[in-house]
Amino acid sequence: MSTFTNNNVASGDVVRASDHNTQGANIAAVVNGNIENDNIDASAAIASSKLAGLNATAFSGWQDWTPTYTSFSLDNGTVVAKYVQQGKAVHFSITITLGSGSTVSSNMRISLPVTANDNINSSTPIALGRMLDSSASTSVMATLEWESTTTMQVVALTADAAYIGVASTTADIPFTWATNDTMQFTGTYEAA
C-alpha cells in the first residue's frame, strides 16, 4: 500500500482513508474502485439513482408465482410456488397438493414463472422432484421437462428394463390421483 501524498499514488494503488484522514484519500479510494468500510460514513446513503443500472432481481428474495395448469385442476387444492431470478438464471420451487375437487388427466403441464430461452431442446429435464401417493405413503421420482418457452410437462420416472425411462402422467399414472396427493419440484433454467 502506498503512503498518500499529492504526487505518489499510482494507478491501481489502494489508499485507505484510515491511513490518511484527508478528502484526497477518499477520492483516491473511489477512483481506484476500492471503497472499504472505513471509507463509508455510517450516516451516508447510496442514492437510488446510482442503482438504476443494476438488475433489481439480483438483490430480491424468492417471489411467489401463480402457475397455470393444463390437464389438471386444483379445486380445493393448494400450491406453493416460488422463484428467484439472478441474471438469466431462474431457480424455482413448486409444491402442489390436490384437494377434494382436483382432477388429473393426461400430459399435465405447468407454466414457467419467467419466459425461458428458446435454445433448450424439447423434453429436456429442468426440474427434479417426486409425486407422493398419500394413501399408500409411497413416492415416485418425477421430473418437469421443458416443453416451450412458457410451459413444462410433468413426467414420472419409470424402471424400464435396464434403464430409467419416463412416462407421461395420467389419472392413473404413476398412481390413481386422490385428495392430498402431492407433487414437489425444484429446478433451474435460462430466462429469455
Instruction: Quote the cell numbers at residue 85.
Output: 431470478
Taking the C-alpha atoms of residue 177 and residue 103, their distance in angstroms, rounded to an integer, is 8
> Which domains does the chain possess?
1-44 (no CATH), 63-190 (2.60.90)
Inter-CA distances, 74 with 36, 142, 154, Å: 52, 19, 15
Q: Spell out the alpha helix ranges (H) of the chain.
A: 23-32
pLDDT at res. 123:
86
- Range with the poorest average pLDDT among 46-50, 76-80, 117-121: 46-50
Q: Which residues pair with 175 in a beta bridge?
A: none
At residue 162 the predicted structure's pLDDT band, cuts being 50, 70 and 90, is confident
Number of residues written out for the chain:
192
Taking the C-alpha atoms of residue 146 and residue 177, their distance in angstroms, rounded to an integer, is 23
Q: Spell out the alpha helix ranges (H) of 6-113.
A: 23-32
Instruction: Quote the cell numbers at residue 109.
Output: 403441464
pLDDT digits (tens, 9 = 90+) for 79-108: 999 999 999 999 999 999 999 999 999 999
Phi first, then psi: give them for residue 115, nearest 5 degrees. Answer: -55, 135
pLDDT digits (tens, 9 = 90+) for 3-49: 555 556 666 666 555 555 555 555 555 555 555 555 555 545 555 44
The alpha carbons of the chain give a radius of gyration, in whole angstroms, of 26
Taking the C-alpha atoms of residue 157 and residue 110, their distance in angstroms, rounded to an integer, is 17
Task: Record the pTM.
Answer: 0.69
Taking the C-alpha atoms of residue 32 and residue 35, their distance in angstroms, rounded to an integer, is 8
At residue 121 the predicted structure's pLDDT band, cuts being 50, 70 and 90, is confident
